[in-house]
Amino acid sequence: MLAERTRLAREMHDVLAHTLSGLVLQLDGARLLARGRPTDPEVREALDRAHAMSKTGLREAREAITTLRGDTVPGPERLTSLVRDHEAATGTTLHYDVHGEPRPLEPEASVALYRTAQEALVNTAKHAPLQPVELGLHYGEDGVQMIISNPLPPGTPGSPVPGTAFGTVNGGYGLTGMRERLLLIGGSLTAAPGDGRWTVTAQVPR
């Protein structure tokens, strides 16, 4: 298992991280060109957003590589930074609360909660832009529960938002992957509408 994790880390570094590094450099150059020439302000803003997203992707790829190599992993302690970055990137109001006494979690549980929050916020930005989001982390005797909730967009009362049920912004299976990750550690994940809101709930056992 250790040899396979090391191999995967090496592949991610040589392929994904290398490609993202090149993308960041290309977008750096594109931003400089746009600033030095008459360019639509919206185009410059789009380039800035793309540059920020590519840098975030590169950082997360490196974090994944670090995780595979058995070093530190992203977890609930990083949710404050995730919330701040999400608000800055999308202009969305995000209310984050922690209930109960925080305690250390197993690495797999920490990563699962963080990645689920990340995926849910990406979906919210795509399918319910500018809708206020509530993110709660609840430490209980039996485990930890995370709830991410936002109002359904106008015109979809009580019905699922297309593409969000265990999906991602590009039609993939981001939340399906998170659900599978949680199931492997005895947890669970649900994503469904109710009372005019779309709610993602992740649970990890103690």
Q: What is the mean pLDDT of residues 195-203?
A: 91
Would you put residue 130 in left (φ > 0), alpha (ψ -120 to 50) or beta? left
Nearest to 16, CA basis, from 47, 80, 62: 62
Whether pLDDT at 73 is above 70 = no
Regarding predicted confidence, which is higher, 17 or 159?
A: 17
Distance CA 102, CA 104 (A): 7
What per-residue confidence (pLDDT) applies to 173? 53
What is the rounded CA–CA span in Å between residue 35 and residue 28?
A: 11
Q: Which of 13-17, 21-25, 157-161 is predicted least confidently?
A: 157-161
Q: Of 11-25, 65-79, 136-150, which range is least confident? A: 65-79
Q: How many residues does this entry show for the chain?
A: 206
Is the alpha carbon torsion for 71, 73, 78, 81 positive or negative? positive
- Measured between alpha carbons, how far is 100 from 138 in angstroms, rounded to an integer? 6
Q: What is the mean pLDDT of residues 11-18?
A: 78
Per-residue model confidence (pLDDT) at position 189: 92
In the predicted structure, residue 138 carries a pLDDT above the cut 80: yes
Question: Radius of gyration (Cα) for the chain, nearest Å?
Answer: 18
Question: What does the pLDDT read at residue 152?
Answer: 86
pLDDT tens, 165-182?
Answer: 333 333 345 778 788 888
Q: Say what the pLDDT of residue 14 is.
A: 76
pLDDT band for 156, please (50, 70, 90 cuts).
Answer: low
Please report the DSSP string for 8-68 in residue order. Answer: HHHHIIIIIIHHHHHHHHHHHHHHHHHHHS---HHHHHHHHHHHHHHHHHHHHHHHHHHHH
Give me the chain's average pLDDT, please: 81
